[in-house]
Structures are given as structure tokens and as C-alpha cells.
Amino acid sequence: MFAKQTSAIAGKVGFNRNNLKDGTFIGVGYGYNGPIKVSISIKNGVIYDARVISHSDDYPYFTWAKSVLNKVINGSSNIDTVSGATVSSRGILNAVKDALRKASNGNNSPDINISEETEQNIPRQNSREIEQIKKYFKGLKDGVYIGKSSGYYTNSLEVQVTVSGGKITKIELIKNNDDKSYFDNQKAGLLESRIISNQSTNIDTISGATTSSKGFINAVVNALEKAVDSNGSDADKYIYSPKTIIVEVGETIGLQKIRNSLEKLPKDVQINIKNNADTSSTGNTKIVVELIFKDKSKKVVEIPVLVNDKADGIFKFLSAEEVKNLDKNINYPDGVYYGDSYGFVSNKPIPVKVTIKNNKIEDIELVQEELDRLKGLTAPGKIDDGGVFQDKFYTVINRIKNMQNIESLIYKFEVLRTAAGEVMKEAQGKEQTVEVYRAALDKVVGKHNFGKWGLTIDQSHLTGERNIHDRIFTLLKIYVREELGYDGEDYDAVSGATFTATGTATSIKNALLKAKKFNFYDMRVDDSSFKTSYKEGDKLNLKDLKVTIYKKNNKKITVSYSDFDKYGLKVINDHKKEIKDGLVLNKENLGHNVSDGLKLRIVHEESNSFKFLNTILISKNMNKNFEISGIKIKAKDGSEWYDTNGYNTTDFIQDITVSKEVAKKLNNKEIEFKIIAKDKKTSEEIEIPLIQSQNKTLIADFVSGEYTLDVIEKYKGVLFNNTFRIKTKVEGEIPKAFLYKEIPETLIISKGAEITDSKIRSVLKNLPDKTNISILKEVDINKANDTIPQKLLIKLSFDDGSEKELEIDVIVKEKVNTMADKYVYKEKDLITIKGKEVKLSHLNNFFDDLPEGTKIEIIENANVSEVNETGTLMKVRLEFTDKSTKDISINVIVKDTAPNKAEEFKILYPEIKNEIVNVVVKDPKYGDKENFAETVKWGAFSDFAINRDLKLKSRSSDISRIEVIQEPDRSKLGNQKGKIKLSFNDGSKLELEISVKIVPYPVYRIFRLMSNKTQYDLQDKFNLNDLKVTLFMSNKLENESDWATTGTPILNIPYSDFHLFGIKVVDLDSKKEIENDSIISSLIKNKKLSVGAYCENLIQKNDYESGNKLVEIFNIKIRNIDEWKEPEKNLEENKEIKNSVESNKNQDSEKVMNSKKETKNVDELENASAENKITETGYTTKEKVSETDSNNLGKPSDDSVQKQNFKINEKED
């Protein structure tokens, strides 16, 4: 759903409110997952109640979408869909429209033209277009292979293919989620016999089950791709069947169209045309080409060709060759230029700053201050709705900077928007029928059937999810890709955010237009004094508007509104109609309801430059006498409500703040919200609670808290129907106590050992300097128990005056071995040369299995003044992270001076062959995709990575060059070998074989874990293969070694590929990996599925904005969850817990300790490693500080909720 909701085209839905009969009327529209029913209640011809009766769309999209009902009740007749939840909100509005149509007729009977079923219940096998993959297989490796594909439904089919003797011998359908009435084992068996007979998937489908047949065939292809013999020639390995080339009558087929039709053809393959196609008349023909691969192997391929009549529309598209030539002979003068356009959100800019140097784009930056200037928009300060859209902005600018195909890329995006706009313009003002839109396409493009399948517009595209805007855009994309032969990689790279990409490209073009043709490089609007709040009937005041034009001669001109005409400036609305000062703000002049407001922009038409103004709000005399005035907050277990600041009436996203005093009282506590509404006549206040629709616990977070809440409450006949997305922050600078969110590790001590400041600090990661620690509740250090932790309550006092209480789990053992006790030094010789003193750089990689963070100090150096083949002793001291120390004696062999620098390096660093260079995997499935290119490049086995991990140049300043002479195999995770050559300043060279570890793609945020199967019973088996994850992958390094927390969204990764991204499916509490086919009931905790995606090596920065390592599953419902019962605990364990709690209660003393960072003589602290953490027992009682989960929209993770629930149970015991 993520990609589809966000890729639908935003727009308005209009209503007829005339002659409405009193009563309650039911309407039906279509959302993302099926029908949406709403009820509309009308009295005296006015809507006073609007609510959703039923739907099957997903949270939180539907929650956001419901906000449109507010505007329905307020009287709006032309309502925008909700950005980010377009499909669902359009479905609600269409349902309202249906209900109002019935109300105007006084008829509430079901409409015979609106199906009560979902679109999926229409006979389906002809309603989904998928392309059959036709391939010939030979030289396959024997084995059994699993393949998956989509039939009618997404990922609905799975097959098992057996290869024996290099041939396909058996195909079994092992999963079939398509309808059995269309496709069953008998039909699968018929396809199996055809494939085995031909040893090819180039076979006929089964009539009546075309879509499922293609899905079955494609699943077989997916399986057999894994069986291709890697030892064959390049020609043998290339098994992909060509796609149909579409041309017009008389067109000559160029190499680019041929290459586009050959899926995954390596770029270095030479193409020779053996027999060209006859395109003199319409119909089907073919072209025969010879492919010559890098290894000189050859393959002859027949490519089908479809010849269509020539399209002759008024809109002229460039040919693929003309698009390619746009980048030839371009000349941009050096300088900095600014441009604007818009993306998915039509009243929000995408402002860019483009730097040109040496006729190339050197940099493209987002102009943040222009985004920040506009108020009351969703995702303030972000492009469109932020998240994936913001990332796609950077995808586009990176493609332009890296490839420098500026004009062609911009054209490919912009032409879709421009052509679609022309089609919509042609149909504007006419009756909304299939014939009208087909005629508009005929006039603009010259045809209304597109692509190999002859796709067009039908009745289903005029209503519901498959709306007309979306369909036209899709048809035009098919046209330019399949028929005109535009390279599709640019479109694929921004899939899911095409409008953001189009707006970004248009903004860059606008900047380049200034560079080439105009004497100014930027214009800015000053609307600081611009009035944005009016009443119906008021006159619009534009006199205070000013525009500053920045000229290339470093001069600037400030233009007042009165001089706009002189400089070619004008003010227009979102329909591009000019708006003049003094306009009376009423429905007649605006062309829409005044409550919809007025969205304006200042344009300089000649340069296509514009600037948005803040939206004008126009109030209207409403029938409703109540209005919302604010939001209050309190602790759930408290009685006092606290005021918040920042409530606004223009947006369902509320950025509210509380005072520091209130934040200190509520931070990390369970909270509630309520809205305050006033009767405008009597000033009487009413209070209405805000409800969390999924009944999840709300934990206060005043750093980055975010909550989605509903209010549906009737009062004196008035319905308040709102969805609020509340973001909470503390006023002023955020206290350090709020920012510190680290979870204490378990502290392990010996019986009777004192708990010191340094021991406490050792289990508190990233604790800021100058933080004082006070003990509020001590533990019994003389009571040993290896399994049940005691609770140490401490207070952290930060240097900004803020404080925070934390509980630390303490395990008291009879005896604890220190890290120094545990570390075993494996004796070996260290080699140096005469006169070359041993330095720390020699020792950093000398010790085997040395714990991370151990410090090395040289106490006594070896005598290296003379050659000594038997060895001389040196002494070093190891200081471990628990402050324990160990002195080691090392035997140093002193060799004679080496003949050259290469031999010297070889003598000094023999251990280097055992050290590891980390290299990012380049899986064949993803490695060649555009959005993986930067990550694969930065994570390569390069001189940069080799020097980074082996610290070669810090070991020897004489190394002049590092050269890779043999790459490791990056196609799979694990240990590999690579070869390098080192060149030294004296001309000597040294070849080395290096150990390489192929590691997963770097991930910095898990966005969402979902399942294709959304409903289970307790007794069902949990099939992990149904899971998919959406995440964000880093695409560059910072500080030469750390992956950045910016990059690329990767959508819907299947479970089979989770390991490539370091993702595991785990229990939310213990983080133990879950086995496939586990019984659902065994995965339930607190009547909830305790399953999440976990990434141990997630990239996290100490900026509190990184993603969480653990993200719970998003969309599974357990149908019979009420039948689940909590497993009974062991009585002995309950007794131990109870005794431990009572023991802690009897100790209540305060002990203040200094904040000195280093305290000596701490020799009894256990290394808090994974094997010593008390997670295996299932009774970890550590109180976790609530962390914001981007997937939960600011709600606490269920992990923290579960810990709190346990804590309550513990007290009850």
C-alpha cells in the first residue's frame, strides 16, 4: 500500500449540496482495499453528521483520510484529497458524493450503478495486466528450486521446480492464493507439461485463466534463474526473452529501442542487426539481431515488432534519439541559479539552488528557507510529505549530478506532466465520460490505445481508486517507454514518488532557464506583512506584497505590488487565473466554497518562475456554534490537565509545546489528550477526549513524540469528527534528561562488592560528561542470585539542571571474573627490524580476540638496536573496558635491515593477511539497480576501503599507491579473498592476499514490516515467506568510514532477501529469531503478536533521529485473539521475583557520587557481553525509556509497553 497510496494523483472532489432532503443516507465509494460506506445525516437541508460505517483500508492511511469529513460537515463543496492517503480519502469523498446524490433524490435505496462488492469481485482474470516472461533454458544445474510470482493477486503463486540431467523434469504448484475457480492444480499441470515439453516458458496460457497462467509461468522463470550454470558462456547465461518493440508505420528501428527490449542486457554487449523488420504497414513482424558478449560468445535473438498507425496529436513528443541529443552542445554559464516548481502537494514548492561550474552542474541544493517560509502545510520544512518523497528528491539530483544528462532527464519527467495537463485541459468543462477522455487523448496524443496490450480508458477509471488522473499519467508513461523507446531506468529510480521527481526536475530546469536566457538568477517574495485571514465578503489586500529580483550583475531590485505589471509579475490562483487587489472574497468570485480558502502564487511568466504565498483562510458564518480552541494533556494516572501551546485551525498536524515544568512531570509517563471546544454564543467550554484508534499506550516524549488520534464525539447535535496528528515538544532548549534515551545494560558484580560510580557509568552508554549520579535505592550486595536481577534506582543530574531517574538491573554473583581474568594471551613473536622501535600501530592488530575498546600501553620497549633472531622482551599493559588490567610480555624478533620498503613492510606486518576488509554485498538481484549504484560503489573493494580497514598508510608512510588486482566475489555474504598490490616510494612493490568479509547492505531505518497474509488464527502456522520489509539504505559514507543516515528507500523486500540487509524476524521481547511455521499462539504476548524486524547493525547516530533497530509488524490481525490465555509462570520463579522486590523495598537510602569520568581500582565488574545479559530467562525487567518509532507515528514500541506491564505485574506479585 505504501507505494500505491503515495503514487496516486491528488485532486479535488466536488459535491452538489442543493435540494438535500432531511434524513440519513448511505453512500459507497472505493478505497485502497475495497468499498467504503459512509452515512450522511441532514437536517433542514444542512449536513450535521458524517461518519464512516465500514471500510477495509489500512491504518494509519485511513485515519489521515478521515479528516476530509470535517470539511464535508463545515460546508465545503470542492474538497482536496489528503496528500499521502489520496486513494482512501478519494474513496471517502466519492462515498459522500454518492450519499448526497441519494439525498437530493430523497432515495436511500442501493444504487444499481454502484457495486456493493470490491473491484476484486469482478471476474478477475481479464482485469489485471501482467506480462508473461518467455525464456529458453539449457545447461541448467541439477537441483530443486523455489520460484515466486504474482498472479491475479500480489505474490500469490509459488512453485517448486526440479531439474535433472540439465533439464526441467517436474513442476509443482506449492502455493496458490488466486481463486481456485479460475486456477487450480489441474490447470497448473497442463502448463507444467507444456513447459517440460518445450524446455521453455514461451508457451500458450490457458484461456479463462490468463493472468494466473502468466503468474505460474513467471514463477517457474523465477525458480530457474537460480539454476543457470555459472560456468557457461556469457551467451548461455543470458536467458531473457525480448519484449515487443512498438513502432509507427515507416519508422526505422534504432539500436536504443532494441537494447530497451532486451531485459538486463549487459551494457558492453554489441548488437548487430541481421534482418531488419518491415515497418511499411501495420501489424506484427520481427527483427533478428546478433548479440556479441564480452567473452566473444554470440547469440541470435528474434524480437517481435508491433507496427501501429502513426500518432498525429497536437502535442509533439520527442523521439528517443531526440531526447538523447538534448544533452549535446549545451552551454550553461558558470554561476548560482535558483528554481521552483511543485511535486505531489500542489501548493508546496520544491525550491532548488543549482551551481554551474565549467559547463557542468557541480551541485544542487534544497533551499530550506523557502520551504520553511510557508506555514500550515503537512510535513513542514520537508519536500511533499517528507520521508520517501524527500529521498526521491535526492535520487533525482544525484542522477543528474552523476550522469550529467541534464536536459534529457528533465524532459522525460516534465513531458508526462505537461502532456497529462493538456489532456485534462482538453476534457475540462465537458461531461466526464469515457468518450470525452478518449477523444482528448486522440486530440493531444493522436491515439487512445497504448502499449503492447492496447491499454485505454474505461468506465472504471472515472471513479474510485483507479481515477482518471492516475490512468492518463500511467498511459502516457507506457507510451513514452514502450512506443517511443524512452529509457525507463529514470522512471524506475523514482517509482512511488514520480510527482516529486517531476517537480524536482522542473525546478532544476527553471534554474537552468535563468542561467541561459535571463538577466536575473533568483526572485524572493516578502509576504511578512501579507494578511492571510479574512471573513467572507472582505476585500483581498495585495498591496503589501513585495518581490526582490536578484540580477546577475549583483544588483537587486525590490518591486512593490503596484509595479508588478512593469516587471512582468502577476498574482494567480491554483487554476492559473489572475487575482487582483480588492477582489471580494465570496463564492461567486472564487469559483468555490470560501471555506476552502485561497491559494495564491506570484509568477514571472516569461521565465516560468513563481513563488507560493501562504494560504489565505476565509471564515464563514457556520450553522455550527462550536469551534475547537485547544488541546490539553495529562498523565493517565493523574488528575491535573495541562495547557499546551501551538494549536492551529488549518492543519490536522498539530505541533504543540508544553512548558519545561509540565514536561518534567509527564516525560516518559503514560498520557492522555483532550480537545477543548467553545460554544461561540455562550462561551461554554466542552471537553472531548482524543482516542487512539488501536488502543495503544501513549508514552510522553517531548523530543520527537508523534501520535495519531481520533475524536468522534457528539455534543448538542454537533459532530466533532477529526483526526489529529500531534507532535509534542518542550518549549525552549530540550533538556539533556529528555535527550538521553540509552537503555542501561545489566550490571554484574561479585557478592559483597561495592557499586561504584565507574561501574554504573560502564553500563550507561553515551552518558554526557559532567553528569552526576545519585543512588536512590540500593541493592543487597550480599545476596547472590545468578538469574533474578535486583533493581538499582539511580538519578542522573545533567549539567543543564535537568534530571532523570533510571532503574538498572543488578545481578549479584558469588564471584565475578574480570575481563582481564578471562582474556588469554596466545603467545607469538612480534617481528621488527633493526633500529625500528615497536609502536602502538604495530600492536593494534597483534593481539588475537582482544575485546573491543581495550587500551594498550607500552610499559617497557624492546631493545631493537641490534639484530636478535631469538628475541628480546617488551612489556605492555592491557586496560579493558571494565577498568581491569593485564600485563603481557611479548617476545620481539629483531631482523636485519630490509633491502627495500616492500620487504620491510612484509617483515613488520605479517599479521595483515589475517585482517579483514569489509565490503558491501552486490547481490545479482539488486546490484545493477540504479538506487543501489551509489551504495555498491561506496562499499566496494577499493583502495579507499582497503586503507580504511587495514590502516596501511598509517602503518607505513612510504606507501604511494594501493592497487586492486583481484576482486572478491561480492554476490553472496560471507568470507572471501582479494588480492592487492602496494607500491612504495622507493619503487618496490608487494602483492598481498587479503581477507575480505562481504557484509549486508547498510540500513539506517526500518520503515515497516508487513505480511501479504493479514489474518491468522491462533492455531495457524506463521509463514515468514509472506513477509516483506520497507527500509532506508544509506548511499554514502561520512568521515571516510561511517555510513550516513541519508539515502534510498527500498520498498517491499521479500523475506528471502532479508539477510542481504541484515534483517532478522525476532520476538519483540527477547530478540530471539523466530523459526518459520511457528504456531501463532506461541508468538502472542499480552494478546498481541510479538513479532518484529530486527537489524543488529543498523546505522544509528547520536542525534535521536535515527531509526530503531527493532520495528514491530504492521498489519496482522489475529481473528480469535480473545481465546488466547497467558501461559502460567513457574511458581518458584514467582516466589524469587517477589522476594527480590520486597528486598529492594526495604532499602531506601540516597548516596551522591562524584561525576569523575575515570575511577581507578574497579576490578570486579563483569563485561556486559551478550552471553551475560539476562534476556534468556524471559524475565528482563529493565525499564526502557520510551523510544519513538517512525512506523508507530510516535507511539512507544510494544517492547517498552511490555516491560512496563511486567513491572506492574511484578508489584502485584
Q: Residues near 31 by Cβ (< 8 Å), separated by ≥ 6?
A: 55, 56, 57, 62, 65, 87, 88, 91, 92, 465
State the helix-helix crossing angle for 1198-1212 and 1131-1145, rounded to 10 degrees.
Answer: 80
Q: Verify cis geometry, omega within 30 degrees of 0, for the bond prior to 60.
A: yes
Q: Calculate mean pLDDT across residues 339-343.
A: 89
DSSP-assigned letter for residue 1107: P
pLDDT at 449: 85
- In the structure, what pLDDT confidence band is assigned to residue 695 with cuts at 50, 70 and 90? low
DSSP-assigned letter for residue 262: S
Closest CA to 1033 of 495, 402, 395: 395
Mean pLDDT highest for which of 104-108, 601-605, 817-821, 1160-1164?
601-605
pLDDT at 723: 65
pLDDT at 1058: 94
Strand partners, 860: 875
Give yes or no for residue 134 having a pLDDT over 90.
no
Q: Calculate mean pLDDT across residues 775-788.
A: 90
Lowest mean pLDDT of 195-204, 224-233, 1181-1190, name the range.
Answer: 1181-1190
pLDDT digits (tens, 9 = 90+) for 354-372: 999 888 888 899 999 998 8
Q: Residues near 358 by Cβ (< 8 Å), separated by ≥ 6?
A: 334
Give yes or no for residue 189 having a pLDDT over 70.
yes
Q: Calculate mean pLDDT across residues 57-63.
A: 62
Higher-pLDDT residue of 714 and 34 is: 34
pLDDT digits (tens, 9 = 90+) for 1008-1018: 898 888 889 99
pLDDT at 626: 67
Give yes or no for residue 447 having a pLDDT over 60.
yes
> Do the strands 335-339 and 626-635 form a parallel or antiparallel pair, or are they unpaired?
unpaired
Rounded Cα–Cα distance for residues 171 and 199 (Å): 12
pLDDT, the chain, mean: 79
- In the structure, what pLDDT confidence band is assigned to residue 1196 with cuts at 50, 70 and 90? very low
Q: Are 1061 and 1028 in contact (CB under 8 A)?
A: no
Lowest mean pLDDT of 427-436, 851-860, 936-945, name the range.
Answer: 427-436
pLDDT at 714: 53
Higher-pLDDT residue of 281 and 311 is: 281
pTM of the shown model: 0.43
Give yes or no for residue 696 having a pLDDT over 80.
no
pLDDT digits (tens, 9 = 90+) for 1024-1059: 999 999 888 988 887 667 888 877 788 889 999 999
Rounded Cα–Cα distance for residues 584 and 1194 (Å): 43
Q: How far apart are the first and last CA of the chain?
A: 44
Q: Are 188 and 177 in contact (CB under 8 A)?
A: no
Lowest mean pLDDT of 12-26, 327-341, 950-964, name the range.
Answer: 12-26
The C-alpha angle 567, 571, 573, rounded to 5 degrees, equals 155
In the structure grid, which three cell numbers stand for residue 1161, read together?
Answer: 581500582
**Cβ–Cβ contacts within 10 Å for residue 379, how many?**
18
pLDDT at 1175: 30
Give yes or no for residue 1131 having a pLDDT over 50.
no
pLDDT at 222: 86
Select the CATH number that applies to the domain covering 143-237 from these four: 3.90.1010.20, 3.30.200.20, 2.50.20.10, 3.40.50.2300. Answer: 3.90.1010.20
- In the structure, what pLDDT confidence band is assigned to residue 35 with cuts at 50, 70 and 90? confident
Mean pLDDT highest for which of 146-155, 437-446, 1115-1124?
437-446
pLDDT at 1046: 78
Rounded Cα–Cα distance for residues 893 and 831 (Å): 5
Give yes or no for residue 1090 having a pLDDT over 80.
yes
pLDDT at 1156: 32
Domain extent listing, the chain: 2-121, 143-237, 250-308, 335-517, 518-623, 626-728, 737-816+1128-1182, 820-897, 1001-1127
pLDDT at 1191: 35
- In the structure, what pLDDT confidence band is assigned to residue 581 with cuts at 50, 70 and 90? very high
pLDDT at 562: 92
- Phi-psi sector, 1047: left (phi>0), alpha (psi -120 to 50), beta: left
pLDDT digits (tens, 9 = 90+) for 1092-1124: 999 988 887 644 344 678 888 877 888 888 888
> Do the strands 747-750 and 803-813 form a parallel or antiparallel pair, or are they unpaired?
parallel
- In the structure, what pLDDT confidence band is assigned to residue 120 with cuts at 50, 70 and 90? very low
Residue corresponding to grid cell 611479548: 890
- In the structure, what pLDDT confidence band is assigned to residue 109 with cuts at 50, 70 and 90? very low
What's phi and psi for 901, nearest 5 deg? -65, -35
Max CA separation in the chain (angstroms) = 109
- In the structure, what pLDDT confidence band is assigned to residue 121 with cuts at 50, 70 and 90? very low
Give yes or no for residue 227 having a pLDDT over 70.
yes
pLDDT at 992: 92
pLDDT at 540: 93
pLDDT at 852: 80
Q: Calculate mean pLDDT across residues 989-1006.
A: 92
Do 2-121 and 820-897 fold alike per CATH? Answer: no
Higher-pLDDT residue of 20 and 995 is: 995
Q: Are 36 and 92 in contact (CB under 8 A)?
A: yes
CATH architecture assignment, domain 820-897: Sandwich (2.60)
Higher-pLDDT residue of 282 and 75 is: 282
DSSP-assigned letter for residue 670: B
CATH T-level topology, domain 2-121: Sufe protein. Chain: A (3.90.1010)
- The CA dihedral of 205, 211, 212, 214, to the nearest 10 degrees, is 50
pLDDT digits (tens, 9 = 90+) for 194-210: 888 878 887 878 866 77
Q: Are 838 and 893 in contact (CB under 8 A)?
A: no
- In the structure, what pLDDT confidence band is assigned to residue 351 with cuts at 50, 70 and 90? very high
Lowest mean pLDDT of 451-455, 600-604, 664-668, name the range.
Answer: 451-455
Give yes or no for residue 130 having a pLDDT over 80.
no
Give yes or no for residue 693 having a pLDDT over 70.
no
pLDDT at 1073: 93
Give yes or no for residue 623 having a pLDDT over 60.
no
Give yes or no for residue 1128 having a pLDDT over 70.
no
- In the structure, what pLDDT confidence band is assigned to residue 486 with cuts at 50, 70 and 90? confident
In the structure grid, which three cell numbers stand for residue 1054, read together?
Answer: 521479500
Rounded Cα–Cα distance for residues 469 and 437 (Å): 10
pLDDT at 110: 37
pLDDT digits (tens, 9 = 90+) for 504-535: 888 998 999 999 889 999 999 988 888 888 88
Q: Calculate mean pLDDT across residues 11-35.
A: 76
